[in-house]
Amino acid sequence: MKKLAAIILAAMMCTTALTACGNSNNGGGGKADSITVNIWDSNQQKGIQEIANKWTETSGVKVNVEVVDWDNYWTLLEAGASGGKMPDVFWMHSNTAQMYMDNDVLLKLNDYVDKDDKIDMSKYYEGVKNLYTREDGNIYALPKDHDTIALLYNKAIFDKYGVEYPTDKWTWENMYEAAKKITEGSNGEVYGMAMNTSNNQDGWYNLIYSYGGQVITEDHKGTTIGSDESKAGMEMMRKLLTVGAPQSVVAETGTDSLFMSGKVGMISQGSWMINSFYTAENHADYAWALLPYADRNGNGTCEKEERWSAYNGLGWAASAGTKDPDSCYSLISYFCSEEGQKLQAEKGVTMGGMTGVSEAFASAFEGMDIKPFLDAEEFSLYFRPYTKKTTVWEDALQQAGAFLDPWQNPSDPALMAKACDNAQKIIEKAIAEE
Amino acid sequence: MKQEAPAAKLKKKKRTKAEKREAIWALCFIAPTIIGLIVLNFYPAIDTVWQSFCKTGYFGKGNTFIGFENYSKVFTASETWHSLWNTIKYALIEVPFGVVISLVLAVFLNKKLKGTSLFRTIFFLPMVCAPAAVAMVWKWLYNQQFGLLNNVFGTDVAWISDPKIAWISIAIIGVWSIIGYNMVLFISGLQEIPGDYYEAAEIDGATGIRQFFHITVPLLSPTTFFIVQTRVIGALTIFDLMFMVMDKTNLALENTQSIVYLFYDYAFTKNNRGYGATIVVFLIIFIMIVTFIMQRAEKKLVYHP
């Protein structure tokens, strides 16, 4: 036994030593031969690599785009920032940007941006730009893209139960009626809609905003989630849940899987997920529509401030310790220049971080109309709520003691109102401790 | 002992060249392990204890010493004790069932029958699979809508979402995965029992069951004790099953999350390394107490012929 254990241990050590060698980079003062780029979305790898190859044509520096899945991405990046080796160029996200910017592990881009005539900071989406600019005005990442939310529905299910397809005139009430018809028409075999507590940015956050509430106020220092407006939004959410898939179902299977297996008629999803549904087996049945709105003034038409979609954007950042900061910035600048941004949309990678470059994106998915993601911008957009330590309250809101309770028992309106009050306290406490 | 010591010293001085060379080579061979242990185990362990006294900053920078503040928070938080209780409940299922079932299997598979090696392989298979893969497969078996269990039995049980039974479902996965490992240890223990005992018992007219309880169980008790002790520690540090099987929004999570899960949540999701480190130190102290008690019990429970 002991011998065996010793051999296994020794073998393990050898392999860890090997991987350690594999990771060490080939850098060496001055201009680097190649740049390592880390991203977490394998759907985008091909497109990003193609754009990067174009940059290589002029710069002569090779680019290796490596995909690391979301969880490991942040573990690796943090380990790199804590004294290991970081990739040269990588993505930043609103969950973690504050933490990275405050600790000087990212390359400061101000001087480069000032000298660069291809980058005009006023052309980017406000929220994305502000996210990656520190309070003192230092820029740590350039906006890579933006995403919006739309409603995804299964035409086959709508046809089967004789329900009309969602339109751009739909209010949340209409969505409720349709979901009710499907759920009742199928005797619970198929659910009209599904949403988990974890579908926040792509789900219930949007109800709060369309009813006039705010998850995080614009200064990122407070919340109105316990206000009457927010409660009205979440009350609508509660109604939807009474005709949707139960919490125990979505917690075990996940709303995307439920939708793709034909068990659910409608879900809301973000534009970053288009490719998953586009390449799914039954994609011919899938269609997108604008998110419903809340007719708050009761005039029967949708005003700009009655339909809200969350938007978020990634940023291209570089490591402060990179061997070749000039090449890194040059690559970032190419990605974020008008040319790079247009390529990104054309190739169907994502919509741009720059305004007015995304029209080509709508036609990138042949046979699937994804225009609702672009149309959403004609109404109101709010930036994905974040604070310095977003995950602390974001996680708490999804669990027992907050919205998991009413989700579990949607027939009781008092539970939902109480959950909003609890959420207000959770967020306020988390912000106070930041 | 005292007489031996100077002799050893004497020997040391008189080491021949060959012996010295051998010693150096020995060191070289174990160096990877020693270095690995120091770098990968000892240093992080000490650092963890240090961090538990700190309010930790990001990226390993800016740790400030705050004394026992983390500890008083951990000890007064009800979730700590709830998670500890969840972990103990898990251990109470995994250890006894894992031991009893594998003991019975080991006795059967130790007989000279056709196909024993095939069955040994089959029972050992779960050990070869990656724990994460095992958990994913079981997650789908348990799934309420599409799961094999509900489909085969025609039931509609929320195996992993019902807070009342989810912890048992999780523990069953634990038992299933560990049986093969325990069984192999038991078989090796069984093979050390001399056949004479059984022959003598048979001549005296003892049945198979009597032989099992009066020969096998007592003579196997050192092995059993070893397995129980290592499995108790293993069960108290369980993490992957809960992490892979339970979704964050699962209502039963509160009643299944283990103490290591709680540590993970604080240290890596909420990025509060100091608090996480304190939970781990708390767990280590608890395991030390349990081990101490078991070592004391060993003298009474284990049969030494």
CA torsion A91-A97-A103-A105 (nearest 10°) is 10
Kindly report the nearest CA distance between residue B120 and chain A, in angstroms: 17
Question: CB distance from B61 to chain A under 8 Å?
Answer: yes
| Residues from A in contact with B at Cβ < 8 Å | 1, 6, 9-10, 12-14, 16-17, 75, 78, 81-83, 99, 102-103, 105, 196-198, 247-254, 258, 261, 263, 389, 391-392, 395, 398-400, 404, 407-408
Pairing mode, if any, of strands A34-39 and A62-67? parallel
Token pair recorded at residue A89: 């160029």
Query: Quick one: three-class SS letters along A6-37?
Result: HHHHHHHHHHHHHHHHHHCCCCCCCCCCEEEE
User: Is A308 within 8 Å of A201 (Cβ atoms)?
Assistant: no
User: Is A197 within 8 Å of A246 (Cβ atoms)?
Assistant: no
Residue A80 to residue A95: CA distance in whole angstroms = 18
pLDDT digits (tens, 9 = 90+) for B28-59: 999 999 999 999 999 999 999 999 998 888 78
Contact B36 A82 (CB under 8 A): no
Nearest Cα to A398, choosing from B250, B163, B159, B256?
B250
Compute the mean pLDDT over every residue in chain B, rounded to the nearest whole number: 88
Q: Quick one: pLDDT at residue A288?
A: 96
Kindly report the nearest CA distance between residue B100 and chain A, in angstroms: 22
Q: Under 8 Å CB-to-CB from A170, ≥6 apart: which residues?
A: A151, A289, A290, A292, A293
Residue B169 to residue B93: CA distance in whole angstroms = 10
Among the partner-chain residues B57, B144, B268, the one whose CB lies closest to the CB of A252 is: B144
Among the partner-chain residues B61, B265, B270, the one whose CB lies closest to the CB of A103 is: B61
User: Is A206 within 8 Å of A310 (Cβ atoms)?
Assistant: yes
Instruction: List chain B domain ranges.
Output: 82-301
pLDDT digits (tens, 9 = 90+) for B136-146: 999 999 998 88
Among the partner-chain residues A10, A253, A395, the one whose CB lies closest to the CB of B145 is: A253
pLDDT confidence band for B3 (50 / 70 / 90)? very low
Kindly report the nearest CA distance between residue B33 and chain A, in angstroms: 6
Residue B100 CA: distances (Å) to CA of A117, B94, B95, B186: 74, 10, 9, 11
Residue B234 to residue B241: CA distance in whole angstroms = 12
User: Is A265 within 8 Å of A182 (Cβ atoms)?
Assistant: yes
Token pair recorded at residue B293: 């008690």
pTM over 0.95: no
Q: Quick one: pLDDT at residue B305?
A: 65
Among the partner-chain residues A78, A105, A398, the one whose CB lies closest to the CB of B249 is: A398
Q: Quick one: pLDDT at residue A20?
A: 40
Nearest Cα to A318, choosing from A309, A329, A308, A307?
A329
Kindly report the nearest CA distance between residue B195 and chain A, in angstroms: 23
With a pLDDT cut of 70, the percent of chain B lying above it is: 95
Pairing mode, if any, of strands A380-383 and A308-311? parallel
Q: In angstroms, how far is the first alpha carbon of chain A from the final one?
A: 50
User: Is B63 within 8 Å of B55 (Cβ atoms)?
Assistant: yes
Residue showing tokens 């306290």? A425
Token pair recorded at residue A237: 């959410």
The total of other beta-carbon atoms located within 10 Å of residue A56's CB is 16
Q: Quick one: pLDDT at residue A360?
A: 87
Of 1.10.3720.10, 1.10.1530.10, 3.40.50.11690, 3.40.50.300, the CATH number of B82-301 is 1.10.3720.10
Q: Coil, helix or strand for A186?
A: coil
Helix pair A338-346, A42-59: axis angle to 10 deg: 140
Residue A375 to residue A111: CA distance in whole angstroms = 36
Nearest Cα to B105, choosing from B213, B219, B185, B192?
B185
CA-nearest residue to A251 within chain B is B250
Triad A9, A85, A105: Cα angle to 5°: 135
Residue showing tokens 């149309």? A375
- For residue A423, the 8-state DSSP code is H
CA-nearest residue to A76 within chain B is B59
Half-sphere exposure of A130 (CA within 13 A, CB side): 13
Task: Give which of A77, A252, A257 to mutate to test B binding, by max B Cβ within 10 Å.
Answer: A252
Contact B158 A16 (CB under 8 A): no
From chain B residues 249-268, the ones with a CB under 8 A of any chain A CB are 249-251, 253-254, 265, 268
Q: What are phi and psi of B51, to 5 degrees?
A: -60, -30
**A-B C-beta contacts closer than 8 Å:** 90
Among the partner-chain residues A6, A198, A392, the one whose CB lies closest to the CB of B248 is: A198
Contact B145 A247 (CB under 8 A): no
Among the partner-chain residues B36, B40, B143, the one whose CB lies closest to the CB of A253 is: B143
Kindly report the nearest CA distance between residue B64 and chain A, in angstroms: 16
Please name each of the domains of chain A with its CATH number: 34-146+312-355 (3.40.190.10), 149-311+374-432 (3.40.190.10)
Residue A419 to residue A404: CA distance in whole angstroms = 8
Q: Quick one: pLDDT at residue A14?
A: 43
Residue A288 to residue A373: CA distance in whole angstroms = 8
pLDDT by residue, tens only, chain A of 434 residues: 455 555 554 444 444 444 343 333 434 456 788 999 999 998 899 999 999 999 999 999 999 999 998 888 988 898 888 877 899 999 999 988 988 998 889 999 999 999 998 899 999 999 999 999 988 899 999 999 999 999 999 999 999 999 999 999 999 999 999 999 999 999 988 999 999 999 999 999 999 999 999 999 998 899 999 999 999 999 999 999 999 999 988 988 889 999 999 999 999 999 999 988 999 999 999 999 999 999 998 888 898 999 999 999 999 999 998 989 999 999 999 999 999 999 999 998 999 999 988 888 888 888 899 999 999 999 999 999 999 888 889 989 998 889 999 999 999 999 999 999 999 999 999 999 87
Identify the helix (H) or strand (E) that includes residue A274: helix A274-278
pLDDT digits (tens, 9 = 90+) for A105-130: 999 999 999 999 889 999 999 999 99
